[in-house]
Amino acid sequence: MIEKGNIGNGIIYLALNRPSKLNAFNVEMFKEIAKTVKSVDEDDSISVVIVKGKGGNFSSGLDFFDLLNYASSNKDFDLWNHITFMQDAFLSIYNSEKVYIAAIDGYCLGAGLDLASACDLRIATNRTKFSIAETKLGIVADLGVLQHLVRIVGEQVVKYWAYTSRVFGAEEAFDAGLILDICETEEELDEVSGNLAKSIAKNPKKAVMNTKKSINHSFFNPLLESLRFTGKLNLDLDIEKLMERFKKGLK
């Protein structure tokens, strides 16, 4: 249910592949995401990952029917353990040393928006529909969207979207800073996200990786500590290679 493909030049894609269910997340998909992200982290040839959905939709959210069936058929089911298991699957993307780009088309609801918000960058088509849909179901969105989006778009916007569970489109998402660009078609989405991935992958992998570490670190630590953390990332510089790239850039 998670399709993995090689684009080349250090770029791969991961596709949510459950189109008959609008790519709703069942238990098996969470397991596959955790396993796949781990394997990607361990592959030194990969720099950038594009995450997309099959069948014209990113994801319609959590498959509650599957979750209820899983809970009722598993005598050892513990809701708290299951929540943290799902959280950790998406958190592994945020914490990954690779850059993740969400290429979003169609529905991006509930857990779909949780996943997209855990990615580093997001691009969508003009037909995309977003929603923090959990609130209207009587639950709190607990897989990361509230925590990620408050840093991406700000407190007031997140509260507005979450309190109302309103469905909003790509224009509103772009204006709020949730997405980088709006594409007319799925084909254009593939092209734009692919070009963005290439522009990232052509840079020294370690510099990109450490930049992501530095930015993420800055969200949770005081300024001085974040500055020191970032400075230490540069202590093992290869001076010769740095000078080569510097001279090349001057030409």
DSSP string, 124-181: EETT-EEE-TTGGGTS---SSHHHHHHHHT-HHHHHHHHHH---EEHHHHHHHTS-S-
Residues in the chain: 251
The per-residue pLDDT for 237 is 75
Stretch 169-192: mean pLDDT = 98
Domain positions in the chain: 2-201, 205-250
Residue 233 amino acid letter: L
The per-residue pLDDT for 238 is 73
The per-residue pLDDT for 85 is 97
Neighbour-count burial for 151-165, b at 16+ CB within 10 Å, e otherwise: eebeeebbeebbeeb
Stretch 183-191: mean pLDDT = 98
Q: Who has greater pLDDT, 249 or 45?
A: 45
**Percent of the chain whose pLDDT exceeds 70:** 96
**pLDDT digits 0-9 by tens, 130-152:** 999 999 999 999 999 999 999 99
Q: Which fold has domain 2-201?
A: 2-enoyl-CoA Hydratase; Chain A, domain 1 (3.90.226)
pLDDT at 249 over 90: no
Stretch 39-63: mean pLDDT = 97
Alpha-carbon dihedral sign for residues 219, 147, 144, 80: positive
The per-residue pLDDT for 244 is 76
Query: With a threshold of 0.85, does the pTM exceed it?
Result: yes
